[in-house]
Amino acid sequence: MIKIPKRIRLANLPTRIEKLDRLSKELGGPQIFIKRDDQTGSEISGNKIRKLEYVIQEALEQNCDYLITCGGIQSNHARATAAAAARLGLGSCLVLRSSGNDSLEGNYFLDKLLGADIEFITPEDYKERRMEIMEEIKARLVQQGHRPYIIPEGASNGIGTFGYYTGMEEILEQEKQMGIIFDAIVLAVGSGGTYSGMFLANKLLGHETKIFGVNVCDDASYFKDRIYDILQDSFRYIDKTIDFSKDEISIIDGYVGKGYALSTVEELEFIHWLAKLEGIILDPVYTGKGMYGLVNEIKKGKMVGYENILFIHTGGIFGLFPKKDLFFE
């Protein structure tokens, strides 16, 4: 038995796995299933809270009283952090990437509602200086008598990895209950932590599921390096390491579209089409691109040999609202 770090319990777990009958029939290929991690909660909905359960536990063990993190203006992770902080009586400061003139809606509106302190920085500063800026905020809070804890983008670091280590354990138990083996698991990749956790568990638990990430920004090479680094960091928390190469990290490139959080007409039409087909709503930043990538890979014949494919719905519904005017032009 592998001993992993402790966690605080915040999410509604386990989340359901549902079969997408109509989508599977439409594609005429593998059977498609979806794990509803969009239902981990309401304010804390999505995949980020699984990682935050471990990260915040570490913060509490260090007697911290303030959480500092970063993300885009519609960051699911930032909103989940603000919600978790409010629930636990902690302060929160969100460093959000913005080009200015953002409407008060979606996750940004919820951030404000939840009482988070918000600091906006330019996309350039976000790319080059976000950690430096969070360290400056931390120093300022320390001077005010607080004990702050910095959480990296997406809670994608060594400790956050264990959110989806246990997520994979949950899937393995559900496989037994359902009498099925998922020979492929597909998820959107935006900061690398969710993929890292599932990859780590897949290795350490001796499972042989193929895990595919559909990158929603950057490229495959970037994420192979990023996931490799996160995994190396995770080894600090357990009593063993794993031997693996970056070639084992499977990234399906080619579906970034216009870029992170930017939507093509085809992506929005796909989200609308799937909502009508299955009654499941994807988000435009992560799951919309991820499922769009999976469906197109199946249509291209790239997923031959996989009979049962599980897609991880990582949430993000609040990010749809700022794009509402683009759907029915």
* Active-site residue set: 75
CA distances from 46 to 81, 143, 319 (A): 12, 34, 12
| CB-based contact 317:292 (threshold 8 Å) | no
267 backbone dihedrals φ, ψ, rounded to 5° = -65, -45
Q: How many helices (H) and strands (E) does the chain have?
A: 11, 10
**Contact of 148 with 67, CB cutoff 8 Å:** yes
| Distance from C-alpha of 204 to C-alpha of 229, rounded to nearest angstrom | 17
* Stretch (H or E) spanning 210: strand 210-215
- Here the tokens at position 27 are 């594609």
Please, what sign has the CA dihedral across residues 236, 237, 238, 241? negative
Residue 94, CA distances (Å) to 21, 97, 117, 123 in order: 40, 10, 6, 15
Q: What's the residue count for the chain?
A: 329
- Residue from 311, 266, 251, 309 nearest 287 by CA: 311
Spatial strand order of the sheet with 210-215 comes to 17-19, 31-36, 308-313, 184-189, 210-215, 250-252
| 254 HSE (CA, 13 A, CB side) | 8
